[in-house]
Amino acid sequence: MEEIFYDAADVAKLLGISKSKAYTVIRALNNELAAKGFMVLAGRVSKKYFAEKFYGTKE
């Protein structure tokens, strides 16, 4: 089964940032999702939401 979340290591690699900064990015994205009423997992972010916010793409 395909993973639907990125973790901090994935985000750090994709954006070329440190792992600690990746956690900050994930926390910000998860706060946005939580404010919209979605369930979130600490330290993980939806691949779809990440792509929408950083690349402007929607599936």
Using the predicted structure, report yes or no on whether residue 59 has a pLDDT greater than 70.
Answer: no
User: What residue type is assigned to position 18 of the chain?
Assistant: S
Helix/strand/coil percentages in the chain, nearest 5: 60, 10, 30
Tokens 């929607």 label which residue? 58
Average pLDDT, the chain: 94
pLDDT digits (tens, 9 = 90+) for 12-40: 999 999 999 999 999 999 999 999 999 99
pLDDT band per the 50, 70, 90 thresholds, residue 57: confident
